A and B are shown apart, each in its own frame.
Chain A
Amino acid sequence: MLSPTEKEEIVAAMAHYDLKKAAGIDALRIVQRHRGWVSDDTLRDVAAALAMDPAELDSVATFYNLIFRQPVGRHVILICDSVSCWVMGYENLLEHLQRRLGIGMGQTTRDGRFTLLPHVCLGACDKAPAMMIDDELYGCLDAEKIDAILESYK
Chain B
Amino acid sequence: MQRPLTQNIRPNQPPLSLAEYEKAGGYQALRKVLSSMTPQQVTTAVLEANLRGRGGAGFPTGRKWSFVPMGDDAPRLKYLVINADEMEPATFKDRVLLEGDPHQLIEGIIIGAYAIQAPVAYIFLRTTYTEAFRRIDKAIAEAQAQGYLGHNILGSPFSVELHLHASAGRYICGEETALLNALEGKRANPRAKPPFPPVIGLWGKPTVANNVETICNVPHIINHGAAWFRGLSRVADGGTKIYGVSGKVKRPGAWELPLGVTIRELLEEHAGGLRPGLALRAILPGGASTDLLTADHLDVVMDFNGVAAAGSRLGTGTMVVVDDKTCIVGLVANLMRFFAQESCGWCTPCREGLPWLAKILTAIEQGQGAPEDIAILKEHTRLLGPGRTYCALAPGAMEPLQSALKYFEEDFQRHIREKRCPWRS
Q: A: which residues have CB within 8 A of B?
A: 16-19, 21-26, 28-29, 59-60, 63-67, 78, 81-84, 86-88, 119-128, 132, 135-137
Contacts and interface: CB of A to CB of B under 8 A. Distances in A.
B254 A82 contact: no
Interface string B59-94: 000000000000000000100000000111111101
A109 to B, nearest CB: 22
Contact of A123 (B86, B168, B170, B248): B86
Contacts of B320: 83-84, 87, 125
Given A21-B185, A25-B167, A25-B185, A125 B246 contact: yes
Given A120-B87, A123-B95, A18 B128 contact: no
25 contacts: A19-B184, A21-B185, A25-B168, A26-B165, A29-B168, A60-B185, A63-B187, A63-B344, A65-B168, A82-B334, A83-B90, A84-B89, A84-B320, A86-B334, A87-B322, A87-B331, A119-B128, A121-B89, A121-B90, A123-B92, A123-B126, A128-B246, A132-B128, A137-B130, A137-B131
B171 A120 contact: yes
Instruction: Sort A-B residue pairs by CB-CB distance and give the 3 closest, nearest first.
Output: A64-B168, A66-B169, A82-B89
A126 B92 contact: yes
Interface of B: 77, 86-92, 94-95, 126-131, 163, 165-171, 182-188, 203, 244-248, 252-254, 284, 288, 318, 320, 322, 326, 330-331, 334-335, 337-338, 341-342, 344
B127 A123 contact: no
A21 B184 CA distance: 8
B42 to A, nearest CB: 26
Given A64-B168, A65-B170, A87-B326, A22 B246 contact: no
A84 to B, nearest CB: 4
A123 B91 contact: yes
Contact of A60 (B95, B169, B187, B253): B187
A61 to B, nearest CB: 8
Given A21-B185, A87-B331, A82 B247 contact: no
A13 to B, nearest CB: 9
Given A121-B87, A121-B90, A123-B86, 7 more contacts: A65-B170, A88-B246, A120-B171, A121-B92, A123-B128, A125-B89, A136-B130
Contacts of A122: 128
A102 to B, nearest CB: 25
B90 A125 contact: yes
A63 B169 CA distance: 9
- In this complex, which of A24, A26, A86 has the most chain B Cβ atoms within 10 angstroms of its Cβ? A86
B241 to A, nearest CB: 16
Contacts of B247: 84, 87-88
Contacts of A59: 187
Nearest to A84: B246
Contacts of B128: 66, 78, 119, 122-123, 132, 137
B322 A23 contact: no
A82 B288 contact: yes
B287 to A, nearest CB: 9
Contacts of B330: 86
Nearest to B87: A120
B282 to A, nearest CB: 11
A120 B87 CA distance: 7
A124 B183 CA distance: 25
Nearest to A124: B92
B184 to A, nearest CB: 5
Contact of B89 (A17, A29, A83, A135): A83
B253 A126 contact: yes
